[in-house]
Amino acid sequence: MNKYRHWLAIPVVFSAVCFATLSDSLFTDDFFAGIKQGYGDKKLSDFYDWREVIDEGSDQDDYDRLLLANEFANRHIDFKSDLKHWNTLDYWATPTESLGTGAGDCEDYAIFKYMTLLGMGMDENKLRLMYVRSLTFNEPHMVLIYFETPSSLPLVLDNLNRKVLSANRRPDLKPIYSFNGQGLWLAKAHGLSSAKPDSKGTTDWSVLMQRIENGE
């Protein structure tokens, strides 16, 4: 990531699309034909693997789902900045774009994992995308966090440290704020925990959800 943006001042247009519902009809013959046309034959196997991972995760408990989604995204997506990848300073890719191009930045990893977990049937209320500062690199960064219960210490899914670890085992991350389709939470000082929900969020999130809903 290159910079922060103006998220705090912009209202969310609507809640996150239920990717679990979309995934039921996503992997059709037409979908795979479009992948072949848009990304080539070599990418088809990645999308078939993605479908298998989502199907496998649908019968697993939450922790195993986290491991599956985290490992799949980190293995199939290579880090590339938005400037190099999309020729723009900031771009939120859909999961199809991230997997199809095989590249993305920290936001794209987190979004891909988030949507994959929803596709497996995970409760959206347990997931948030969190902006942090990477103290190792002294720069803004995004991770996905999971709460077993609202008061639980969250687990962190990341592309820098590829293990699923509890927040207290990630002293290299300084939390800033988190959000999902239900709103935005300012981060507390300890454990990447949640704070009082706010009704504000990001236009980027709203635009991304609309693009996914449109099948991009």
Separation CA 25–CA 1 (nearest Å)? 33
Q: What is the mean pLDDT of residues 188-212?
A: 54
Q: Which residues contact 84 (CB under 8 A, 6 or more apart)?
A: none
H runs (alpha helix) in the chain: 19-26, 29-39, 41-57, 62-76, 82-86, 95-101, 106-120, 203-213
- Would you place residue 23 in the very low, low, confident or very high pLDDT band (cuts 50, 70, 90)? low
pTM, two decimal places: 0.82
Backbone angles phi, psi at 165, to 5 degrees: -125, 150
Angle between helices 41-57 and 106-120 (to 10 degrees): 50
Residue 21 scores a pLDDT above 80 = no
pLDDT of residue 198: 43
- Expressed in angstroms, the distance from the first to the final Cα of the chain is 23
